[in-house]
Amino acid sequence: MTRTIVESKTKTAVIGFDQPFCVIGERINPTGRKKLAAELEAGDFSTVEKDALEQVACGATILDVNAGVVYNSNPNPNETEPPLMRKMIELVQGLVDVPLCIDSSVPGALEMGLETAEGRPLLNSVTGEEERLEMVLPLVKKYNVPVVAISNDDTGISEDPDVRFAVAKKIVERAADHGIPAHDIVVDPLVMPVGAMATAGLQVFALVRKLREELGVNTTCGASNISFGLPNRHGINDAFLPMAIAAGMTSAIMNPVQPGASDKKLDERMAELAALGVSVPEGIDRAALSSLLGLGTRQASSSKEMEAIRAANFLMNNDPNGAQWIRHNKPATPAGSAAEGARGRREGRRRRAVA
């Protein structure tokens, strides 16, 4: 049975066909996040800290760390990204104990991440491009780490799933030439947006089965790619992930966090109530009001995608006796009720003893 071992200093994550689905938290990545990119250039790591803690609290098994900021002060990532990668990894592994995934297109940043990370991190990534193969595979061998293999090559990303399978096979074979076993290759078969390609879902399900049966490798994907450009993306993602799991996919790079209700949303809803003549008392518990108005909790919580994954783990018999499903869906005990219940039981025993 194929098992990919990813480790921190104190914790092991196992990616495998007989294991719970592995969630690789994607949030520590400045790509497309201008605010985070500006913070990192200014030496402000507060959002990184928040993202690390929230993702682990919401169920991430591994955290992806990407330092791909193009500094305004220095646009050369070969100079800026390696030291930033070191700082980010030191910070994250000082906050949480889960294994890390080192994510970069810059060779120096990859090696700096490998030198800094404790344990056995996952490297993200190698492709079928000749230059990338020659650069990344020696690092994988040198540091004895697993690697994400993205199934595009020098011709680009093919819409033909047979071509993407051939690229994945090429990477696995080239890795073997370096003495890297197939169980240390986690293939990303590249999920296409279903809004642009109606067969995207069917393609990836078939590809995952073929990769498992013929190459014996674990698989991953950027989970939200499937819903790109569509309304209600979470609805598509919620359906896609369990179907991918049933097809044999063993991990995904995704956001496990459902953000808490913002002050702005709550203020907007309160203004709507005021316009209807409904007055909200001053000093009201804003957290309770947010929940009452259907805006959710004020704190970050596990996303709907995480709920779908936990259900799929249970249905695939990768959650023994449904323990994780039950634990995450157990009603919260109201404050003070546990102590009151214990006191009531003690008083009941005393009454019986007197009788």
- Given a cut of 80, whether residue 53 has pLDDT beyond it is yes
Domain ranges of the chain: 7-257, 263-292
* Torsion angles phi and psi, residue 73, rounded to 5: -80, -20
Averaged pLDDT score across all residues of the chain: 91
Tokens found for residue 190? 């590249």
Q: What per-residue confidence (pLDDT) applies to 277?
A: 84
- Given a cut of 90, whether residue 174 has pLDDT beyond it is yes
> Which of 102-116, 171-185, 282-296, 337-351 bottoms out in mean pLDDT, i.e. has the lowest?
337-351
- Given a cut of 70, whether residue 353 has pLDDT beyond it is no
What value does the mean pLDDT take over residues 319-338?
81
> 343 pLDDT band (50/70/90 cuts)?
low
| Structure letter (DSSP) for residue 156 | B
Q: Which residues, including other chains, have CB under 8 Å from residue 198's CB and lie 6 or more apart?
A: none
Q: Select the more confidently predicted residue: 181 or 346.
A: 181
> 4 pLDDT band (50/70/90 cuts)?
very high
- Given a cut of 90, whether residue 97 has pLDDT beyond it is yes
* pTM attached to this predicted model: 0.87
What b-and-e string marks burial along 78-95, b requiring 16 or more CB atoms within 10 Å of the CB?
eebbbebbbbbbeebbee
Q: What per-residue confidence (pLDDT) applies to 270?
A: 77
Residue type, 312: A
Q: Cα separation of 244 and 251, whole Å?
A: 10
What value does the mean pLDDT take over residues 65-87?
93
The answer to whether 96 and 50 are in contact (CB under 8 A) is no
- Given a cut of 80, whether residue 340 has pLDDT beyond it is no
The answer to whether 122 and 147 are in contact (CB under 8 A) is yes
CATH assignment, 7-257: 3.20.20.20
> 331 pLDDT band (50/70/90 cuts)?
confident
Match 């179907």 to its residue by tokens. Answer: 243
